[in-house]
A and B are shown apart, each in its own frame.
Chain A
Amino acid sequence: MNDFLEVKSISMHFGGLAAVENVSFHVNRGEIVSLIGPNGAGKTTVFNMLTGVYKITAGEMYFEGHDLREMIPQNIVKIGISRTFQNVRLFSKMRVIENVLVGTHIHTKYSFFESLFRVGRFKKEEAKLEAKAIGILNSIGMGDIVDSFANSLPYGEQRKVEIARAIATDAKLILLDEPAAGMNPAESAELLRFIRELCDKGYTILMIEHDMNVVMNVSDRIYVLDHGRLIADGRPEEIANNPKVIEAYLGEQKHVED
């Protein structure tokens, strides 16, 4: 059994609709794994199941020995799984640095009263968190906009702040939900480089992505979902030539007579 992330035949039913049906996969430490599939395949639902937003209907999920089924989102982030969202969900009226600081929330080591009376420990801990947040922002080239309010940033930048916020939780596994959406080719190339860098730093990444350029270039392994079912898995080059995958994306090949 894999000791990092192991998902065994999970299902998610909404009333009569099976959004995810009997899906199994695993992620090894240090890998970049992609989850792809046409719209409505249930990819984001899988993320919501992993992070505890939905209570799964059936199946088992383990992360480093913790049973994820029994956990609330707040505890799942504590054991080291953090995520970004398909449609950016930043704290729009807060500054960039404050957004990242929210990511450090679970590592705060001072109490409410200590913060109210600004005791030494509060200042020391707060400085550590600030330095950490600025360090993360610097490393993704956003050091000069720490003061900006999240809602004043262009879309691509907002996505990067979201990733920074996820990193700030000290997650071991980062779930990226369509990180390249809305980015131009230059930006997504930059993102590609950034994701690889994250991997080199020891983060493990599970990512949903539609941009095949990003997926094929960066992934170690790929899982393909269609209509809530896993239809293929393997290395990028295997997936690119898999007839089932091509069918899911482009439809069945029909023989047209001349």
Chain B
Amino acid sequence: MNRILKTTESLCYKYRYILLAAFIGLIVAVPFLPISRVIMRLLIMIALYSMLGMGLNVLTGYVGLVSLGHAGFYGIGAYVCALLQVRLGVDFWIALLVSGLFTALIGFLSGLPSLRLSGSYLSIVTLGFCEIVQMILKQWESVTNGNYGIRNIPKPVFFGMELNLQNGGFLVVALVLALLTGLGCLALKKSNTGRAFLAIRDDELAAGMMGIKTSRYKILAFVISAFITGLAGGFYSELNGYIEPTNFVFNISILILSVVIVGGLGTVRGMIFGAVVLQLFPEVFRFLNEWRFVVYGLLLVLMMRFRPQGVLGWQSTQPYHISKRTKELLKETVTTKGGIGG
């Protein structure tokens, strides 16, 4: 089993540019493919949850801070996007960007307690955050319309063409958003920011001793995570056409966290896999009726017992990618001096 996964990994790595091109080709082809509405919606939800997973993964997988409050960020993103359009008539694309940025700001504020707390204590604070958001959405009726939610959110328009479920526009947007998020996360991971994140996760004290300003990076992780989740929320409000507070309850936080854990903490591939599993599962096992949730719980327990790192959460078997530029630099140093440090 492991060997199959690892061979697949090395193949995927080898042909990564071809895969990327194929994926982009697929996105372009979506409007012309005969996909039924049910499948279309399922695919959109998979893309959306991959994105949510990647958002939480920045925080939980990279920096090791477990958040139970991501439904809160998700809800804030959705409401900001919807309200800007319905109340102020802002164009969808601008509203989407603003919803991401606004949620990032909230992420910054809610990241502040993370500086003093860790582990389960932080999780409980984020849980509280989720409930606060829920309360505000329900009670602040003059703005959020309370329990009635917001209806008739206009469909996005792209160069004069309305995007909806039928013409595949939504799926294209969802796939593009997920793709950009995925590429962003991969780029993030292989930079000094990503290394600082992982270092904080593995050993915060040692990270500080290497000059990493741990507080700043923890907050940055909250901001990035909230930004991605806010964008996903904004898109969700479009997709649904209406939103209400119950769309963003605590269960959603758990669902997002499950995506991350099932797929494999700290990996991008795992987020896609986790989203596929958790979105397909309820559909495939529809015949089990209420028993679905028992099986679902059982699967999670078995996962934790036999594969705690997540299904795709193995350490990479690929060699570290050393760029051509680096190799050239190395050749120069070998011929000129060599030795420690340089």
Which B residues are CB-close (under 8 A) to A85? 206
Which A residues are CB-close (under 8 A) to B1? none
Name the prevailing secondary structure of the A interface residues: helix
CB distance from A94 to the nearest CB of B (A): 5
A161 to B129, CA, bound (A): 41
28 A-B pairs with CB atoms under 8 Å apart are: A53-B209, A73-B211, A74-B208, A85-B206, A90-B203, A93-B198, A93-B202, A93-B266, A94-B195, A97-B320, A98-B198, A101-B195, A102-B196, A110-B192, A115-B187, A116-B191, A123-B323, A127-B329, A129-B192, A131-B333, A132-B341, A132-B342, A134-B330, A135-B330, A147-B319, A167-B341, A169-B211, A201-B340
A-B contact count (CB 8 A): 139
Q: A90-B203, A116-B187, A134-B330 are in contact. Are A73 and B341 (CB under 8 A)?
A: no
Which A residues are CB-close (under 8 A) to B205? 53, 89
Return the chain A residue nearest B320 by Cβ: A147
A165 to B199, CA, bound (A): 12
User: When the two chains form their complex, are residues A130 and B340 in contact, meaning their CB atoms are under 8 A apart?
Assistant: no
User: When the two chains form their complex, are residues B210 and A169 in contact, meaning their CB atoms are under 8 A apart?
Assistant: yes
CB distance from B24 to the nearest CB of A (A): 17
- From A74, A134, A140, A169, residue with most partner B Cβ within 10 Å: A74
Judge if B11 is at the interface, Cβ distance under 8 Å: no
A187 to B191, CA, bound (A): 34
Judge if A23 is at the interface, Cβ distance under 8 Å: no
A78 to B208, CA, bound (A): 11
Out of A74, A91, A93, A129, which one reaches B211, CB within 8 Å? A74
Which A residues are CB-close (under 8 A) to B51? none
User: When the two chains form their complex, are residues A92 and B188 in contact, meaning their CB atoms are under 8 A apart?
Assistant: no
CB distance from B325 to the nearest CB of A (A): 4
A250 to B177, CA, bound (A): 69
Return the chain A residue nearest B309 by Cβ: A93
User: When the two chains form their complex, are residues B210 and A165 in contact, meaning their CB atoms are under 8 A apart?
Assistant: yes
User: When the two chains form their complex, are residues B338 and A131 in contact, meaning their CB atoms are under 8 A apart?
Assistant: no
- From B207, B211, B322, residue with most partner A Cβ within 10 Å: B211
Name the prevailing secondary structure of the B interface residues: helix
Out of A105, A117, A149, which one reaches B210, CB within 8 Å? A105
Out of B201, B323, B338, which one reaches A130, CB within 8 Å? B323
Return the chain A residue nearest B191 by Cβ: A115
* Residues in A107-129 with C-beta less than 8 Å from chain B: 108, 110, 112, 115-118, 122-124, 126-129
Q: Residue-by-residue, is B301-339 near A (CB-CB < 8 Å gives 1, otherwise 0)? A: 000000000000001000110110110011001000011
User: When the two chains form their complex, are residues B210 and A108 in contact, meaning their CB atoms are under 8 A apart?
Assistant: no
A147 to B315, CA, bound (A): 11
A146 to B205, CA, bound (A): 23
Which B residues are CB-close (under 8 A) to A116? 184, 187-188, 191
A97 to B316, CA, bound (A): 14
A256 to B201, CA, bound (A): 57
